[in-house]
Amino acid sequence: MPSVESLVQVLSSGLLMGAAYALVAVGFTIAFGVMNVVNFAHGHVAMAAMFASFVLYQQLGLDPYLSALVLFPVFFLVGIALYRVVIRPMLQATHAAQLLTTLGLLIVIENTANLLFGADLRSVRPVYADTSLVLAGVAFPWTRLITAAGSLATIAGVWAFLTRTRLGAELRAAADNRIGAVVVGISISRVFLMAFALSTAIAAFAGAMVVPFLLVSPFTGYDLMLKAFIIAIIGGLGSVPGALFGGLLVGVIEAAGGFFFTASVSTAMVFGLLVLTLLLRPAGLFGSARL
């Protein structure tokens, strides 16, 4: 029978990783909640930021967590450009056309990364990457602790922005009732622009935060996107609290499945939870809340 220390270690590992998953899912769910567009390139934006963090570390020696602060505003501007060039022209198109557009963007980002860096796995290993904080026999790797703390602080900041600022109120209004938002004078085009730019910046921030302990290749985005999509559905598409809860839940299930069984079984358990959610509560655990 596993010891108490082992079980606590599994739980803590799952929660730390789940916080990072939640941050990726929050960016994804903001774009969907406001714009009703499923951006399948979201994970590849995070992958692009991982490579950007890798380059900054290799060329300038910039710590990946500091690079996350640098990349957030940079990718916010990238999100503005992508919205104007790629997303805005297809907003009135069918969902199928929107799906194909974001898949096309995914392919462009993936092949650009493959051209620039090749298909080999890359890593960023700061000097503290192999050190841990040990409390009562339980090890907390510093990289995962910092990532979890940064992820939770970012999610809290996003929630404060959405609930305590005028622009955040406009985003929530557009998510709840687009026609009503227009009637009261809210610029939907500006709200959409800000939502997509913020979503892109959050994905980039998350990518830079996980690069100290996740290997990166041009194909890393698929796993990040799949996690974000599953978490968003489990928590409730368009719900920031749902994305946080779903991320922590998926992280714990993965860690527990890997500890008691195998990695493949843990993946099956996550998909099993997804299927159960769709069967029993299609709107997600947090209902149909949108931001």
The CA distance from 267 to 215, in Å, is: 19
Alpha-carbon dihedral of residues 206, 81, 36, 249, nearest 10 degrees? 0
Running DSSP on this structure, what letter comes out for residue 284? -
Mean pLDDT of 201-211: 97
Residue type at 152 in one-letter notation? L
Asked if residues 63 and 150 have their Cβ atoms less than 8 Å apart, the reply is no
pLDDT at 290 over 70: no
Residue 132's φ and ψ, nearest 5 degrees, are -140, 155
The CA distance from 242 to 237, in Å, is: 8
For residue 137, name the pLDDT band (cuts at 50, 70, 90).
confident
Mean pLDDT of 126-143: 92
The CA distance from 279 to 174, in Å, is: 29
pLDDT digits (tens, 9 = 90+) for 150-172: 999 999 999 999 999 999 999 99
* Model pLDDT, residue 4: 87
Select, from the ranges 45-54, 133-142, 233-242, 252-261, the one with the highest average predicted confidence (pLDDT): 45-54
- pTM for this one? 0.95
* Model pLDDT, residue 113: 97
Looking at the chain, the whole-number percentage of residues with pLDDT higher than 70 is 99
The CA distance from 25 to 19, in Å, is: 10
Asked if residues 30 and 198 have their Cβ atoms less than 8 Å apart, the reply is yes
pLDDT digits (tens, 9 = 90+) for 247-263: 999 999 999 999 999 88
Report the length, in residues, of the chain. 291
